[in-house]
Amino acid sequence: MNLRPLRSLHLVLALVVVGCGSAAPSVAPGVVEGTATAQPSSGLPAPRSAAPSSSQAAESSLVQARFRVGSEPLHLAVADGAVWVSNADMTVSRLDVAKGSVVTIPVPGFPGGITGDEDGIWVSMNRDAGGAPGRSVIRLDPATGAVLAESAVGEGPRGVAFAAGSAWVASGLGASVTRVTPTGETTSIPVEGQPSGIRAIDGQVWVARRTETSLVRIDPRTGDIAGTVEVGERTVWLAGTSDTLWVAGWQVPTAFRIEVTSGEVTPIDVGAPVYPGMGLLDGAAWVPAGSEIVRVDPATATVSTRIDLGASVGDIEPTAEGDGLWVLLPYTGELVLVQPAD
């Protein structure tokens, strides 16, 4: 089996071998430094309780590195040379890809979605510290992890996208999407149906909704709802290109391919209910389904590859170089780097 070399991985593994040879990174007050390792992390459950079969061994060889992050990691974003992870223990983890170091950053609530660029990392506060529905989004300094600002949004914010120089926050309980500029100005757009997943795709903001069967498209230049696309099922998360949208069904083992021009919808059985989150690599959708990440061929809309990671799979994003996948394992507290076979 031939594997493409991962450029970012070379630096990660070099740090693991050298260890103490590099200086400790500077971190913001309250940030707890973590441990990076290319082996299963200490104190975490073993990926499998029994010796792997030959097929499982082949699959596990696709995992290039493992990093311990916070408890029950939820969502991830790749930005400014780092991988950012929101965790259910009121923290955000930052993996410096070049150094292979992980830091854990306390945040003022239970986070939901996360996105950003070199100017800021945006994190929705899905619940406040007391467990009540949250009503804000925070912006972190991408260099230090310090909280730069907190802005009010609709109740129960979940997904966050970045488009046209602003963050866009989907608030399920608030029936709204809120645009937040870097200076803190906010504009609320009414969106019914418990908006959850949100993505910036080809210059447009697309929103999946838990209680409605259509996607909503928002024009970021005007902030107006520019159209809807009927899926036929409730949806929770999405990804896409200018030509094709990929959407996860809500609490069903189904993903959907949507042709943007024709509006044609093709359902795909991925074998297990989809955890919120999916990513694209080389034009193909990768979907988290049970303990597997599932590749859906973009031409045929059929499952072409299954990789069993031995534990429930969460959010998926491609590496910055587009030569691998970052995958969350919520119940083991891990971020893993996967290189699918050619």
pLDDT at 341: 79
Cβ neighbours of residue 108 under 8 Å, at least 6 residues apart? 90, 125, 128, 129, 138, 147, 150
Task: Answer yes or no: are the C-beta atoms of 294 and 305 closer than 8 Å.
Answer: yes
User: Around Cβ 11, how many Cβ atoms within 10 Å?
Assistant: 14
Q: What is the pLDDT along the chain (342 residues), one digit of tens a residue?
A: 333 444 444 434 333 332 333 333 333 433 333 433 333 333 333 332 233 333 343 455 799 999 999 999 999 999 989 999 999 999 999 999 999 999 999 999 999 999 998 899 999 999 999 999 999 999 999 998 999 999 999 999 999 999 999 999 999 999 999 999 999 999 999 999 999 999 999 999 999 999 999 999 999 999 999 999 999 999 999 999 989 999 999 989 999 999 988 989 999 999 999 988 899 999 999 999 999 999 999 999 999 999 999 999 999 999 999 999 999 999 999 999 999 976
pLDDT at 342: 63
Tokens 């129960």 -> residue: 156
Residue spans of the domains in the chain: they are: 33-42+54-338
CATH 2.130.10.10 fits 33-42+54-338, yes or no: yes
Please give the backbone phi and psi of residue 253, each rounded to the nearest 5 degrees, phi first: -85, 45
pLDDT at 47: 31
pLDDT at 276: 82
The pTM of this model reads 0.84
3-class SS letters over the chain: CCCCCCHHHHHHHHHHHHHHHCCCCCCCCCCEECCEECCCCCCCCCCCCCCCCHHHHHHHCCEEEEEECCCCEEEEEEECCEEEEEECCCEEEEEECCCCEEEEEECCCEEEEEEEECCEEEEEEEECCCCCEEEEEEEECCCCCCEEEEEECCCCEEEEEEECCEEEEEECCCCEEEEECCCCCEEEEECCCCEEEEEEECCEEEEEECCCCEEEEEECCCCEEEEEEECCCCEEEEEECCCEEEEEECCCCEEEEEECCCCCEEEEECCCCECCCCEEECCEEEEEECCEEEEECCCCCCEEEEEECCCCCCCEEECCCCCCEEEEECCCCEEEEECCCC
Give me the residues paired with residue 258 across strands. Answer: 245, 265
